[in-house]
Structure 1
């Protein structure tokens, strides 16, 4: 019952390891110290296993007929992640539905671990994960949701409007961090571009992007609602001399956000403030 905050991470596109969060985890834990870290429920989300089996099957069918296997693997995993998660949103057991089901289950686990209290939530999302979690929140905020898990009958007997239902819908989301966010890729063709609504009165959305990262974008220019809700923060993503010399100034910067010193400092400082409130 001494948990004060939930910290959720979600990864981006591509062939992602289940322990993608370890460097970020270690640095945040060290920045907070043992006493404050003890008050945090840490929940890393992982959706790659929903997609990976079929991706491996397809790559296996092609392997003997093509060259540049490593590059093709990168492109196949990355772009098929994005395409698959946007396909058949209205169909039960589609990747879109199963990913949202996974997120909902994680929210239930946090709610139970907190003693069924709606503790403040901080979400840190990278790359495609920004679109995934934003879509989950967007759908959860729709009374008449037409896609995803919120549009379908659920047999878990959780009453709409109950504390658990509200927590599932991210109503206690205090801060949303997007790192190398590619939401613009998914909404650029839409005439009306709208951001999610602020779940809480003091909600903050911080979007970190590197101008050399072609997959990471600022969000404020998208529309008036994004301009009002989001604070864009430009950084030179990377940590250490190797990253600065070989990755921070080019598209490889897309993989450097998790351990960037400015990102870690910003997140850990705000978590401390929330815990001490």
Structure 2
């Protein structure tokens, strides 16, 4: 069994406030993996963890909301957070009030701020991005976020220290994951096992990713992450190595990655256009929160992992 184990890491994006955000996506991945392998108990070989980095930033976000709009953020913002969590864990119905709330311009009794849901979205996304950046004065949030990723990788490594690693990362989480493994590849972080050190990274799946925006940032991130398994002496691992970037054309926070440069063309195997979310509602920017549990995303990821599992078992 040990040689057949495959590790999977989920990394969330903005707006997540619960550590079990990926539970429905994990259940769907296991189900699709069993179907793809043709073995009813094959998912026993999947070792899965979720990196929950939100605690590194939520206190700052909440403090900003309380001070900028006293008495308001705790109500409206909290409702938006709950709806986002429901969507992340598989509720299609929660997409409707989330989308409709984006049309609300003014809430009685709150004269200072309009467009509350859009302001919540900006606070979550832009606020997290600003807090995450390393500045000349501090890297406190950056390091705290990556400590959470490291802990999740260590949990995987405790169970499968040398297993091939597949990473599924959404939104800002895709930037965080790419940063983490890039830093590992450059020796900027230390790790105790091949897996926690990023050496077994085989599949990288970015969902609704704004990584393209980060290519404008000075420094190493202008160059893409390279998947280590591509150069593995094991031809099966090398064949399984891939970076698929899933994006919805209605998601204004996601961008294709191929075409940015020759290096990006070589690093990313495919920009896969998908339509995620419920009908009509999914044809809006709200689609950004709907990747986790959509079959158009989860099924091909499960199929790729299943291909490697079957190939290793058959010795081909």
TM-score normalised to structure 2 length: 0.74
Out of 256, 261, 273, the position equivalent to 1:235 is: 273
Q: Displacement, 1:165? A: 4.4
Quick check: 1:71 aligned with 2:105?
Answer: no
1:176-207 Cα shifts (integer Å, max 9, x gaps)? 00011101112225498311123122221011
Match of 2:208 among 180, 184, 189: 180
**What is the distance in 1 between the residues matched to 2:121 and 2:250?**
19
Contact 1:14 1:81 in 2 (8 A): no
The alignment status of 1:95 with 2:165, answered yes or no, reads no
CA shift, 1:56, in A, is: 0.8
State the Cα RMSD in Å.
2.3
Structure 1 distance, partners of 2:61, 2:246, is 30
- Paired with 1:123 and 1:191, the residues of 2 have a C-alpha distance of 24
Does 1:170 find its partner at 2:204? Answer: no
Are the aligned partners of 1:8 and 1:122 in contact in 2 as well (CA < 8 Å)?
yes
1:216 deviates by: 0.7
CA distance in 2, matches of 1:122, 1:15: 21
Question: What does 1:96-135 correspond to in 2, within 5 Å?
Answer: 96-114=142-160, 117-135=161-179
Q: Is the 8 A contact 2:202 2:228 kept in 1?
A: yes
In structure 1, C-alpha distance between the alignment counterparts of 2:137 and 2:176, rounded to whole Å: 15
Q: Output the CA distance in 2 between the equivalents of 1:170 and 1:89.
A: 27
Report what 1:194 is aligned to. Answer: 223
- SS at 1:233's partner residue? strand
Q: 1:110 to 1:191 in 2, by over 3 A?
A: closer
Contact 1:237 1:256 in 2 (8 A): no
How far is 1:95 from its partner?
1.1
Cα deviation, residue 235, structure 1 = 2.6
- Number of residue-to-residue matches in the alignment: 254
Larger mean CA deviation between 118-127 and 223-232 belongs to 223-232
Rounded Cα–Cα distance in structure 2 between residues aligned with 1:212 and 1:165:
40
Are the counterparts in 1 of residues 162 and 193 from structure 2 also a CA contact under 8 Å?
Answer: no
Q: Given the superposition, is the C-alpha separation of residues 108 and 130 from structure 1 closer, same or farther in structure 2, using an over 3 Å criterion? A: same
Q: 2: distance between equivalents of 1:180 and 1:89?
A: 29
Cα deviation 1:127-184 (Å, max 9, x = unaligned): 11110010011111114x4xxxx2xxx7xxx6xxxxx244322110110000111011
Whichever of the two has the greater Rg, that structure is 2
Residues 1:45 and 2:51 aligned together: yes
CA distance in 1, matches of 2:172, 2:5: 28
Q: 1: CA distance between counterparts of 2:219 and 2:136?
A: 20
Compare 15-24 and 49-58 and name the one that shifted more.
15-24
Q: Which residue of 2 aligns with 1:29?
A: 30
In the TM superposition, residue 16 of structure 1 has moved relative to its aligned partner by: 4.1
Deviates more, 1:80-89 or 1:259-268: 80-89
Which residue pairs with 1:10 in the alignment?
A: 11
Asked if the contact 2:246/2:274 (under 8 Å) is kept, the reply is no
User: Residue 216 of structure 1: SS of its match in structure 2?
Assistant: coil
Q: Who is 1:141 aligned against? A: 185
> Which residue of structure 2 lines up, in the alignment, with residue 161 of structure 1?
none
How far 1:121 moved relative to its partner? 0.5
Checking the alignment, whether the CA contact within 8 Å between 1:211 and 1:234 is kept in structure 2 is no
Q: Are the aligned partners of 1:180 and 1:208 in contact in 2 as well (CA < 8 Å)?
A: yes
